[in-house]
Amino acid sequence: MSSESSKKRKPKVIRSDGAPAEGKRNRSDTEQEGKYYSEEAEVDLRDPGRDYELYKYTCQELQRLMAEIQDLKSRGGKDVAIEIEERRIQSCVHFMTLKKLNRLAHIRLKKGRDQTHEAKQKVDAYHLQLQNLLYEVMHLQKEITKCLEFKSKHEEIDLVSLEEFYKEAPPDISKAEVTMGDPHQQTLARLDWELEQRKRLAEKYRECLSNKEKILKEIEVKKEYLSSLQPRLNSIMQASLPVQEYLFMPFDQAHKQYETARHLPPPLYVLFVQATAYGQACDKTLSVSIEGSVDEAKALFKPPDDSQDDESDSDAEEEQTTKRRRPTLGVQLDDKRKEMLKRHPLSVMLDLKCKDDSVLHLTFYYLMNLNIMTVKAKVTTATELITPISAGDLLSPDSVLSCLYPGDHGKKTPNPANQYQFDKVGILTLSDYVLELGHPYLWVQKLGGLHFPKEQPQQTVIADHSLSASHMETTMKLLKTRVQSRLALHKQFASLEHGIVPVTSDCQYLFPAKVVSRLVKWVTIAHEDYMELHFTKDIVDAGLAGDTNLYYMALIERGTAKLQAAVVLNPGYSSIPPVFQLCLNWKGEKTNSNDDNIRAMEGEVNVCYKELCGPWPSHQLLTNQLQRLCVLLDVYLETESHDDSVEGPKEFPQEKMCLRLFRGPSRMKPFKYNHPQGFFSHR
């Protein structure tokens, strides 16, 4: 082994020592040539194909040399080391060749990448230029379209026809020889003729104004004459009063009414006097009259005592009417009830006219034994109304005046003493007789000057004029407002039952231009049915679902989503807003208990109702709330995240513009509509 290693090292020593001067010379020459030699320049001169062939040839030679070295090592021998050294030197040369080919390949790769990058930059520059050109083309096309669609102001002017123009226009304006063949000159000539005609009309207008001023002056002179005539006529009428009294000429209806009013009971008399005074002073359309039999009223010189206190009356009747069967206990109680609930023969009629020629007829009665007043109401309109199914209770005499003042439902007697009277004749409650007798509302008692203090009951209640006068104006205004509100609801319900939500032009700005969700059902529901709904429990627990309210169910649909809205309509609508409870059937059932966004939708219509009131007196509040629900359903469905596992397009594409789709950990949706920007945002 030592001999072989010495043999291997010997050629190295010989090669290094053979020509030292030549080695120095070669190194200096190489440094001199390195200043000018460059492999990058050589890459351009060499053929890649030949380099590839050289690569394959070199690899084959390396394989061959390695195989020979392996074979020589396996055979062994004295001269093997020299041969192995020679083949090793040849292999090193081939390795140097491979390294050079590798460097050349990397240089070629770098140049290829650089060329590709330069070409890509050129392509990008060309693409940018193309986009600029396309944008310029589009801009020019828009400008061309604007020019083609340009409308001049003269197009809005309704010019005379061509036949009339050439027939009436003078030749110096019409210029038929020029304008017949040139549409532009023809239009200019027609505009000149229009200007000439308008100048003439303006002159006529000034003449008419001067004539109008003259006529107005003549009218003023005649008015002065008539105004001076009025005092003379008044003096003549005053002088004729003794003659009218002497001849007993009953031509004055008011005189008759006041004569009849002398026989009214005190509460009805107070009502008659105060209502007449209010009509003369504040409301000329208020008509007051007295109905009933005056003879029967005269026969009642004084209110009869309670018939149930003296049971001897029945015995006296039995003695006078012999051979008559003795009445049973039930018949006696019925007779006592009728006597207890007996009304005065005279009643006061109030006809309250509203703006739309509708009239509220009020008939006031006085129950003599109970010492209370009742009223019956009836609404008539100028045109016959088609009553929708859901509007059956709106104008009903039993409910049209219910809760005119909060809590005044008119089903209980306001006189505490009546309950003791009812116990004697077996009457449980007055509500069983209100359809026949009328409703004893508290405001009816106050209009008659009656007041029944609960803390310190009085034995006798006296009608007070000041009490009636203090409540007359407020009550009349409330009555008018109630009738107008019910008539407005009556018309709105007719549209709602046909799936149309009427929105007036004054309220169009409250909603976006496009609302996809639609009302498909509007029906009335009973109070018991409302109480049984599972999603109205909050309203029921809060005590907002009284039996005097009106209840309705609305169904709003969009696609597969169905929104149920249970509506509580207070009799005091629209001063008291309706209350909505929602239940959405889409991907399960969603209510305010399991979905915060449903609670937010309820807040939009229940809490933020003042935004939807519209112009006074806010009769459009209910329809605006329903329209807002349609908009809220659109926002709810359009902002719902799409399930990526479901193939196909989104069921409800987003059409509403929203600043943010969600906010907060509960991912609340933007339900507030901002006008006139037209976008939705969070509150």
Q: What distance in Å separates the CA atoms of residue 646 and residue 577, rounded to the nearest whole number?
A: 42
What pLDDT is attached to residue 529? 92
Q: What distance in Å separates the CA atoms of residue 3 and residue 79, rounded to the nearest whole number?
A: 12
Domain boundaries in the chain? Answer: 39-148, 179-247, 255-300+331-484, 499-641+650-681
What pLDDT is attached to residue 327? 59
Give residues with Cβ within 8 angstroms of 300, minimum separation 6. Answer: 344, 345, 368
Q: Would you say 254 and 260 are in contact if contact means Cβ atoms under 8 Å apart? A: no
Tokens of 679: 């976008």
Q: DSSP character for 641?
A: P
Among 28-32, 46-50, 164-168, 419-423, whose mean pLDDT is lowest?
28-32
pLDDT, one tens digit per residue, over 628-668 is 999 999 999 988 876 655 555 778 888 888 888 888 888 88
What pLDDT is attached to residue 122? 94
Among residues 347, 435, 359, which one has the least CA distance to residue 396?
A: 435
Strand 679-681 relative to strand 657-658: parallel, antiparallel, unpaired? parallel
Name the phi and psi angles at 551, rounded to 5: -125, 135
Measured at the CA of 264, the angle between CA 263 and CA 269, to 5 degrees, comes to 130
pLDDT, one tens digit per residue, over 565-609 is 999 999 988 888 999 999 999 889 999 999 899 999 999 999 988
Three-state secondary structure call for residue 611 = helix
Give 187-255 as a 3 state SS string.
Answer: HHHHHHHHHHHHHHHHHHHHHHHHHHHHHHHHHHHHHHHHHHHHHHHHHHHHHHHHHHHHHCCCCCHHH
Q: How many residues does the chain have?
A: 683
Question: Span 499-505, mean pLDDT?
Answer: 89
Over the Cα atoms of the chain, what is R_g?
53
Return the bridge partners of 586, or none.
none
Question: At 471, which helix (H) or strand (E)?
Answer: helix 465-496
Please give the mean pLDDT across all residues of the chain: 83
Alpha carbon separation from 183 to 167, 172, 192, 351, 568 (Å, rounded): 18, 17, 14, 68, 67
**pLDDT greater at residue 561 or residue 386:** 561
Name the phi and psi angles at 659, rounded to 5: -70, -45
Alpha carbon separation from 515 to 230, 627, 632, 634 (Å, rounded): 62, 9, 10, 7
State what percent of residues in the chain have pLDDT above 70. 86
Question: Span 604-623, mean pLDDT?
Answer: 88
Alpha carbon separation from 624 to 214, 509, 542, 630, 655 (Å, rounded): 52, 11, 25, 10, 21
Q: Would you say 610 and 590 are in contact if contact means Cβ atoms under 8 Å apart? A: no
Among residues 608, 617, 629, which one has the least CA distance to residue 572?
A: 617
Q: Would you say 413 and 419 are in contact if contact means Cβ atoms under 8 Å apart? A: yes
Q: What distance in Å separates the CA atoms of residue 398 and residue 231, rounded to the nearest whole number?
A: 50
Q: Would you say 185 and 174 are in contact if contact means Cβ atoms under 8 Å apart? A: no
Among residues 642, 640, 644, which one has the least CA distance to residue 668?
A: 640
pTM over 0.85: no
Among residues 523, 531, 525, which one has the least CA distance to residue 551?
A: 525
Q: Would you say 562 and 556 are in contact if contact means Cβ atoms under 8 Å apart? A: yes
Half-sphere exposure of 28 (CA within 13 A, CB side): 6
322 pLDDT more than 50 = no
Tokens of 509: 């700005």
Give 396-424 as a 3 state SS string.
Answer: CCCCCCCCCCCCCCCCCCCCCCHHHHHHH
Q: What distance in Å separates the CA atoms of residue 401 and residue 409, rounded to the nearest whole number?
A: 8
Give residues with Cβ within 8 angstroms of 456, minimum separation 6. Answer: none
State what percent of residues in the chain have pLDDT above 90. 35
pLDDT, one tens digit per residue, over 435-487 is 888 999 999 999 999 988 876 655 567 888 888 889 999 999 999 999 989 88
pLDDT, one tens digit per residue, over 354-392 is 887 889 999 999 999 899 999 999 998 877 777 777 777
Question: Span 479-501, mean pLDDT?
Answer: 90
- At 323, which amino acid appears? K
Q: Would you say 448 and 270 are in contact if contact means Cβ atoms under 8 Å apart? A: yes
Question: At 292, which helix (H) or strand (E)?
Answer: strand 287-292
